[in-house]
C-alpha cells in the first residue's frame, strides 16, 4: 500500500468506515488480554460502521466498532486504530508504520520533539516556559 500522509488520515478513515477500502497494515489480535488492552488504550473516538472491507473469506465485517488512537499536545488522530467485529474479533490497523524522529530534544526546557519520518505526523510536546 502507498504511504498515506498524516493530513489524509481522517479522510482515509472515512473511506474505511464507508467500506470503500480495507484498513491498512491489519493484524488480528488473538490473545484476549492483549485485545482488551489494545481497545482500552484507544483514547480517541469510537465510531460505528455498518460494514468495513475485509479480505475475501472474512465474514464478520458487519456492524463493527472502530476505535481510534490520538497523541501529541493537541490529541491528533495518529492513524492507528482497532476494529471490533460483530463476532468479537479485534483487528488492529495502522495507516502508517511510524518511524519517530526525536532529535533536537531539550528536556530541561520541556521540549520533546516527535515527528514521523514517513508521514510527517507531529506529536511533539512543549511543556516548558
Per residue in 46-57, pLDDT (tens digit) is 998 887 887 766
pLDDT of 31 reads 96
pLDDT of 49 reads 87
Specify the 3-state DSSP secondary structure of 9.
Answer: helix
Q: Of all residues in the chain, what percent carry a pLDDT higher than 90?
A: 22
Q: Which of 25-29, 40-44, 65-69, 105-109 has the lowest mean pLDDT?
A: 105-109
Cell numbers linked to 6: 498524516
Q: How confident is the model at residue 62 (pLDDT cuts 50, 70, 90)?
A: confident
Say whether pLDDT at 76 is over 80: no
pLDDT of 110 reads 76
Average pLDDT score over the chain: 83
Per residue in 5-58, pLDDT (tens digit) is 666 888 888 988 888 888 888 899 999 999 999 999 998 889 988 878 877 666
CA–CA gap between residue 58 and residue 42 (Å, rounded):
24
Amino acid at each position: 500500500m502507498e504511504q498515506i500522509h498524516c493530513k489524509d488520515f481522517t479522510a482515509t478513515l472515512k473511506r474505511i468506515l464507508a467500506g470503500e477500502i480495507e484498513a491498512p497494515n491489519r493484524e488480528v489480535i488473538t490473545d484476549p488480554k492483549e485485545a482488551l488492552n489494545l481497545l482500552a488504550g484507544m483514547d480517541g473516538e469510537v465510531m460505528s460502521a455498518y460494514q468495513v472491507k475485509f479480505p475475501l473469506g472474512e465474514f464478520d465485517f458487519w456492524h463493527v466498532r472502530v476505535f481510534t488512537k490520538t497523541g501529541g499536545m493537541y490529541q491528533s488522530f495518529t492513524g492507528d486504530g482497532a476494529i471490533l467485529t460483530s463476532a468479537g474479533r479485534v483487528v488492529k490497523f495502522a495507516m502508517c508504520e511510524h518511524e519517530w524522529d526525536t532529535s533536537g530534544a531539550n528536556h530541561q526546557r520541556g521540549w520533546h520533539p516527535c515527528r514521523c519520518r514517513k508521514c510527517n505526523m507531529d506529536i511533539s510536546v512543549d511543556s516548558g516556559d
